[in-house]
């Protein structure tokens, strides 16, 4: 489409025709299920608000002017925005019919003009139909509860992952999708020992509550959805923040919040864990992981859980938050498992603040009795390098022969701290290169001419080590200062900027939000980007995580890997000749280590089930799967207890000794690798 010559009259006439066909489509489906609706619920009529037109123009202007990625707002981008918008509204193809999507396709090339001129009428009309379809589906779900389900129907399955499925061609097809979904919800409650009446009551309330929440949808919800579809069509870490999310962002930056320390988002009516904050209560609990779904929330003294499926994210967050020292109980469905296991766990709330994530050190002896220092760094917070300098002095006093820097789960933080931390282990030199939106390349140096620790050094990383963690690990690897151990890191090599959309001269009744966009890219001193590839370890640990399935490479529209000119630096040692020897010794130990055997077994099981997109709806099969999982867990617990010289337990309901929480085979093996490195006698800095 041309930038300014579009006829809005033509667009509006097209929309009227579209809206006419949509109303007919709604009427047809509503008639087909009219006798199934218990009560009439009026959905809100959503229209674009005055400030949204200005906000859309400011967003598009900011992105085209200042974003690292150069792009045009044209028909090609318009099609991407459309696809992402439909996906945002119905990613699992549970609501729209194929006929609905076909009606929308006439407007795939109108979204570029919509965001540029700030007229989002198309997006609002599509969103309204999505609300109608959701209401119809939830009303239908309630009718399925009347007659109950046969939980021993042979071969019955719930296909929970429909991302790549076709759109339903008819009402019968989408009804079958929902029969599976409702039966899955019912069976999950049945396995939790709920009676048939309790199941009917819980799910009826859940689906009615979902319908009521549709009535709470507001104009900002639509605007946020379509503008994020635009933002993510440009690049993976570019986004629009609504006024409420902007306020929460500022609170996160300036205050310590009381809660569990988990980043959450809504996915298909479920509140899903994106990540846990290092050092926070959820992290310390150890049972909450990314991809887990929160099904229910209860306070410490509550007898039952409040079902939160279908709730707005803000409301779930308010239920989980609470004063320091209080207990919140969560009903969590584990993500990434074939059995979709549901756990109940208790977390003591605490202040989630930067100071709680401070680096700490301990001393562990390797097999030969040598003292190995371990510095655990959960994030790159302000003055991290000062704390680590102190810890290094303490470890020297304890006569350590080598040091491990543990960056597992460290999602990054301050770039200056990554540079300053690197400077503790080298005398001076470049640490990271940054290419800005203008194309200018900036080299960041450590210039103090001091080295605080010059002994043997290893760095332990995993797939969740990102950003500043990758800068430090890459610098240590490029200088040959340390041996990197673990998994390929996350691969986030971009820098984002946060910018409010409001201006001092604005007089809108409602506030404008903010944008976050990528404005620079990190590069190693060897020239390659950390984007996508991350840091490849010198000695790799077994991992069930395929880099293509988790990390930056999994993000849609992430910037590609590329390289620039190498910076000028000299390697400080020659560790390459040691790596083959250290790897061979590591592999020999891993083949004998029971904990590594568990890891190999879990990887094999994961690979066998990772492409399975369904779960059985046969109660006896699910009970058998859960029992098999519980039996394996109990067996491993008892095997560990025997190795520690402790008494076995009879069942998982027994109290499990806390000492098992301290078992960390990856850290233990890093200690042995570091010990091997010291014992080789070939380590020395060229300074």
pLDDT tens, residue by residue, 472-498: 999 999 999 999 999 999 999 999 999
Range of lowest pLDDT (284-293, 370-379, 620-629): 284-293
- Please give the pLDDT value at position 271: 85
Tell me the pLDDT tens digit for each residue of 576-617.
778 999 999 999 999 999 999 999 999 999 888 888 889 999
DSSP state of 44: P
Mean pLDDT, the chain, integer = 87
Where in the chain are all domains bearing CATH 2.30.42.10? 257-352
Strand partners, 299: 328
Calculate mean pLDDT across residues 613-636. 94
**% of residues, the chain, pLDDT over 70:** 89
Residue 63 has pLDDT above 90, yes or no: yes
Calculate mean pLDDT across residues 60-77. 95
Residue 231 has pLDDT above 80, yes or no: yes
Q: Are 518 and 67 in contact (CB under 8 A)?
A: yes
d(CA 528, CA 441) in angstroms, rounded, equals 13
Calculate mean pLDDT across residues 45-74. 94
Residue 427 has pLDDT above 90, yes or no: yes
Give the residue among 37, 56, 45, 75 at the shortest CA–CA distance from 120. 56
Where in the chain are all domains bearing CATH 3.90.226.10? 355-504+519-573
Q: Are 459 and 666 in contact (CB under 8 A)?
A: no
Calculate mean pLDDT across residues 59-88. 96
- Please give the pLDDT value at position 32: 33
Structure tokens at 116: 């540029």
Give the three-state DSSP class for 437.
coil
Calculate mean pLDDT across residues 242-263. 62
Straight-line distance from the first to the last Cα atom of the chain, in angstroms, rounded to the nearest whole number:
62
Band (pLDDT 50/70/90 cuts) for residue 143 is: very high
- Please give the pLDDT value at position 308: 85
Calculate mean pLDDT across residues 284-313. 82
By DSSP bridging, strand 429-436 and strand 457-461 are unpaired
Residue 310 has pLDDT above 90, yes or no: no
Structure tokens at 604: 């094999």
- State which CATH number among 1.10.3720.10, 3.40.630.10, 1.10.10.10, 2.30.42.10 fits the domain covering 257-352: 2.30.42.10
Calculate mean pLDDT across residues 636-655. 94
Q: Which helix (H) or strand (E) holds 494?
A: strand 494-500
Strand partners, 242: none
Calculate mean pLDDT across residues 659-664. 90
Band (pLDDT 50/70/90 cuts) for residue 372 is: very high
Phi, psi of 556 (to 5 degrees): -65, 135
Band (pLDDT 50/70/90 cuts) for residue 268 is: low
Band (pLDDT 50/70/90 cuts) for residue 144 is: very high
Give the residue among 86, 84, 73, 79 at the shortest CA–CA distance from 109. 79
- Please give the pLDDT value at position 254: 40
- Please give the pLDDT value at position 15: 44
Sign of CA dihedral 596, 599, 604, 607: negative
d(CA 403, CA 386) in angstroms, rounded, equals 17
Residue 84 has pLDDT above 50, yes or no: yes
Calculate mean pLDDT across residues 73-100. 96
Band (pLDDT 50/70/90 cuts) for residue 9 is: very low
- Please give the pLDDT value at position 336: 54
User: CA separation (Å) from 561 to 82, 201, 512, 528?
Assistant: 26, 52, 34, 8
Calculate mean pLDDT across residues 238-244. 88
- Please give the pLDDT value at position 250: 55
Band (pLDDT 50/70/90 cuts) for residue 661 is: confident
Calculate mean pLDDT across residues 96-117. 94
CATH 3.90.226.10 fits 355-504+519-573, yes or no: yes
- Please give the pLDDT value at position 430: 97
- What is the full DSSP assignment across 76-88? HHHHHHHHHHHHH
- Please give the pLDDT value at position 686: 64
Residue 39 has pLDDT above 60, yes or no: no
Q: What angle, rounded to 10 degrees, do the helices at 594-609 and 576-592 form?
A: 90
User: CA separation (Å) from 138 to 134, 145, 178, 212, 492?
Assistant: 6, 11, 9, 10, 39
Range of lowest pLDDT (48-57, 314-323, 644-653): 314-323
Q: Are 341 and 368 in contact (CB under 8 A)?
A: no
Residue 5 has pLDDT above 80, yes or no: no
Range of lowest pLDDT (179-183, 337-341, 500-504): 337-341
Q: Would the pTM of this model clear 0.85, i.e. be above it? A: no
Q: Are 337 and 610 in contact (CB under 8 A)?
A: no
**% of residues, the chain, pLDDT over 90:** 62
The catalytic residues are: 467, 478, 492
Cβ neighbours of residue 65 closer than 8 Å, sequence gap 6 or more: none
- Please give the pLDDT value at position 149: 94
Give the residue among 127, 65, 60 at the shortest CA–CA distance from 95. 127
Residue 65 has pLDDT above 60, yes or no: yes
Whose structure tokens read 């809100």?
44
Q: Which has the higher per-residue pLDDT, 290 or 326?
A: 326
Residue 436 has pLDDT above 70, yes or no: yes
Residue 341 has pLDDT above 50, yes or no: yes
Range of lowest pLDDT (38-52, 108-122, 205-219, 625-639): 38-52
Residue 564 has pLDDT above 60, yes or no: yes
Residue 680 has pLDDT above 60, yes or no: yes
Sign of CA dihedral 111, 117, 122, 127: positive
Range of lowest pLDDT (49-53, 546-550, 660-664): 546-550
d(CA 88, CA 83) in angstroms, rounded, equals 9
Q: Which has the higher per-residue pLDDT, 126 or 331?
A: 126
């Amino acid at each position: 489409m041309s930038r300014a010559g579009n006829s809005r009259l033509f667009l509006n006439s097209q929309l009227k025709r579209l809206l006419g066909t949509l109303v007919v489509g709604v009427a047809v489906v509503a008639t087909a299920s009219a006798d199934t609706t218990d009560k009439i619920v009026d959905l809100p009529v959503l229209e674009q608000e005055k400030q949204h037109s200005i906000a859309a123009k400011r967003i598009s202007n900011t992105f085209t002017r200042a974003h690292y990625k150069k792009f045009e707002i044209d028909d090609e981008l318009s099609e991407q925005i459309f696809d992402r918008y439909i996906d945002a509204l119905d990613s699992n193809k549970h609501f729209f019919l194929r006929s609905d999507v076909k009606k929308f396709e006439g407007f795939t090339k109108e979204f570029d003009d919509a965001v540029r001129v700030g007229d989002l009428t198309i997006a609002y009309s599509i969103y309204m139909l999505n609300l109608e379809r959701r209401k119809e589906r939830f009303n239908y779900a309630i009718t399925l509860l009347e007659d109950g389900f046969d939980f021993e129907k042979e071969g019955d399955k719930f296909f929970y992952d429909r991302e790549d499925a076709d759109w339903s061609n008819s009402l019968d097809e989408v009804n079958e999708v929902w029969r599976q979904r409702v039966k899955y919800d019912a069976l999950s409650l049945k396995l939790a020992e709920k009676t048939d009446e309790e199941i009917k009551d819980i799910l009826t309330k859940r689906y009615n509550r979902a319908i009521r929440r549709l009535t709470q949808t507001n104009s900002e919800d639509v605007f946020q959805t379509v503008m994020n579809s635009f933002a993510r069509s440009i690049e993976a870490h570019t986004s629009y923040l609504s006024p409420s999310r902007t306020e929460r962002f500022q609170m996160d930056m300036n205050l310590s919040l009381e809660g569990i320390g988990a980043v959450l988002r809504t996915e298909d009516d479920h509140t899903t864990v994106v990540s846990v904050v290092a050092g926070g209560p959820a992290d310390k609990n150890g049972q909450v992981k990314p991809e887990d779904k929160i099904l229910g929330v209860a306070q410490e003294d509550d007898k039952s859980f409040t079902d939160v499926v279908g709730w707005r994210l803000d409301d779930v967050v308010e239920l989980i938050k609470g004063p320091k020292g209080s207990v919140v109980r969560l009903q969590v469905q584990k993500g990434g498992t074939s059995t979709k296991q549901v756990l109940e766990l208790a977390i003591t709330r605490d202040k989630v603040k930067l100071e709680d994530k401070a680096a700490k050190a301990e001393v562990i002896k390797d097999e030969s009795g040598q003292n190995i220092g371990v510095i655990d760094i959960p994030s790159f917070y302000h003055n991290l390098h000062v704390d680590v300098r102190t810890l290094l002095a303490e470890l020297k006093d304890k006569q350590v022969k080598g040091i491990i820097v543990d960056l597992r789960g460290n999602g990054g933080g301050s770039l200056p701290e990554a540079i300053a931390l690197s400077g503790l282990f080298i005398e001076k030199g470049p640490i990271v290169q940054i290419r800005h939106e203008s194309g200018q390349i900036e080299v960041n140096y450590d210039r103090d001419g001091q080295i605080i620790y010059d002994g043997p050094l290893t760095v332990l990383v995993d797939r969740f080590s990102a950003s500043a963690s990758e800068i430090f690990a890459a610098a240590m690897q490029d200088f040959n200062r340390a041996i990197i151990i673990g998994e390929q890191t996350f691969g986030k090599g971009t820098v984002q900027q946060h910018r409010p959309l409001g201006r001092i001269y604005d007089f809108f009744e409602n506030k404008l939000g903010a944008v976050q966009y990528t404005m620079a890219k990190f590069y190693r001193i060897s020239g390659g980007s950390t984007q996508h590839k991350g840091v490849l370890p010198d000695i790799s640990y077994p991992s069930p995580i395929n880099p293509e399935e988790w990390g930056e490479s999994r993000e849609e529209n992430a910037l590609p890997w590329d390289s620039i000119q190498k910076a000028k630096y000299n390697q400080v040692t020659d560790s390459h000749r040691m790596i083959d020897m250290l790897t061979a010794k590591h592999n020999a130990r891993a083949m004998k280590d029971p904990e590594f055997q568990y890891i190999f077994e879990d990887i094999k099981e994961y690979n066998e089930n990772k492409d399975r997109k369904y779960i059985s709806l046969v109660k006896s099969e699910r009970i058998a799967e859960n029992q098999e999982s519980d039996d394996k867990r109990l067996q491993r617990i008892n095997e560990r207890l025997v190795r520690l010289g402790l008494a076995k337990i009879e069942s998982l309901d027994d109290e499990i000794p806390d000492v098992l929480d301290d078992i960390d085979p990856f850290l233990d093996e890093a200690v042995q690798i570091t010990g091997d490195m010291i014992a080789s006698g070939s380590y020395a800095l060229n300074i």
